[in-house]
Amino acid sequence: MSVMVVRKKAMRKWEKLPGRNTFCCDGRIMMARQKGIFYLTLFLILGTCALFFAFECRYLAVQLSPAIPVFAIVLFLFAMAMLLRTSFSDPGVIPRALPDEAAFIEMEIEATNGTVPQGQRPPPRIKNFQINNQIVKLKYCYTCKIFRPPRASHCSICDNCVERFDHHCPWVGNCVGKRNYRYFYLFILSLSLLTIYIFTFNIVYVALKSLKIGFLNTLKETPGTYLSPPHGAYLPFRPLCPVVGLTGFHTFLVALNQTTNEDIKGAWTGKNRVQNPYSHGNIVKNCCEVLCGPLPPSVLDRRGILQQEESGAQGDSSTRGPSTQEPGAPEKSSTQEPGAPEKSSTQEPGATQVLGALAVGSTREGSSSPTRQSAVPMLPLSPTGMPEETQPSAVELPAQTRDDGPTEH
């Protein structure tokens, strides 16, 4: 005989999170699934800096100052650190509503909007929220089953609602939101400085070498500057030149305490000319709030533990005494009396009973068998353990030997 044994398997919450994100290092790294352009970003930065350090830096360190490669290394390491911090962090994903919470929200919406006649479009699911004496609309997300907080939006690529959503950046392979916007801004700012720095000293290198061996000979000796001015910059560096303009655009947004999503949609510059309720009216205060304000913790709890139940069969020979049954003889219960009603097979605890008992916490330690309910009513048992119907008594014994005569009424 075997019983069903339930084992609890520990599982991290990131393994069951919805959305289109990928996780690495046991949930510590969170990225979007489309990471091809992110790898291209790494290749462009690493390739360009490798050419600069291999050819120009050695000559400039000797001819001008050894501080030139040192400062370039500092900018390079800082830009790479900000890129990885932006790409590997949670941008501020809002958890989806649980089934009970979603049902409660649906009941609230139905109670507010009332019954909608068939054929008519239901009213939009919007709540009004007041911020700095201005009404801000909270929109309902049909995917996450929640009313999104102010400035939050649903990313169609990652399939998640992100708090203070700015945009989805394929170059960093992640969404840019409340929890990683400052690192994104510092990344593009440091990358712009690194771009200008390498471009400037590339021109200085070509000018110094041209004075000695000529311009054409300089291009032949240094493959890293083959596409240098006046022909252009490094070939791998050309796609990164627009990052300087991108830095200027985000500097403008930070000064206004505005997001890219709000700027594209014209949330505060539309027909109504509604003022931005999140702006402090001061550039310094806006920059301090966006770049130096407190960083909220992640609400996903990606590395939290989820307990999952697994059932399996296991022999119960350890709970029974040695069997005296003959080999090949049919198995019988040791407590069953001759003539007693045959016991139903449902008396043994099944997998459903054990799982249900664990789910509600009704299983008590030390009990020999869980409480069961059978569809067939059980006969009451006497103190001797036999059904009262079949238990012989002193009064009934002589009555069984009499002849059945006519019944008198």
Catalytic residue selected from 169, 175, 241, 292: 169
Which residue, among 228, 187, 195, has the nearest Cα to 84 in the 3D structure? Answer: 187
Strand, helix or coil for residue 320: coil
Q: How many Å apart are CA 203 and CA 215, to the nearest integer?
A: 11
- Strands of 126-131's sheet, edge to edge? 126-131, 134-141, 146-147
Q: How many Å apart are CA 373 and CA 379, to the nearest integer?
A: 13
Q: How many Å apart are CA 93 and CA 18, to the nearest integer?
A: 11
Torsion of CA 215, 218, 219, 225, to 10 degrees: -110
Cα→Cα distances 195→52, 83, 202, Å: 11, 15, 11
Cβ-contact 139, 125 below 8 angstroms: yes
Tokens at 323, concatenated: 């069997």
> Would you put residue 361 in left (φ > 0), alpha (ψ -120 to 50) or beta?
left
For this structure, is 169 an active site residue? yes
Strand partners, 139: 126
Q: Residue 146 belongs to what H/E stretch?
A: strand 146-147
Residue with tokens 């664990």: 358
Q: How many Å apart are CA 289 and CA 396, to the nearest integer?
A: 94
Which residue, among 141, 143, 106, has the nearest Cα to 152 in the 3D structure? Answer: 141
Task: Give me the helices (H) in 232-391, please.
Answer: 243-256, 260-265, 283-292, 351-360
Buried b (16+ CB within 10 A) or exposed e, 93-129: bbbbbeeeeeeebeeeeeeeeeeeeeeeeeeebeeee
Ranges assigned E (strand) in 174-244: 174-176
The catalytic site residues sit at 169
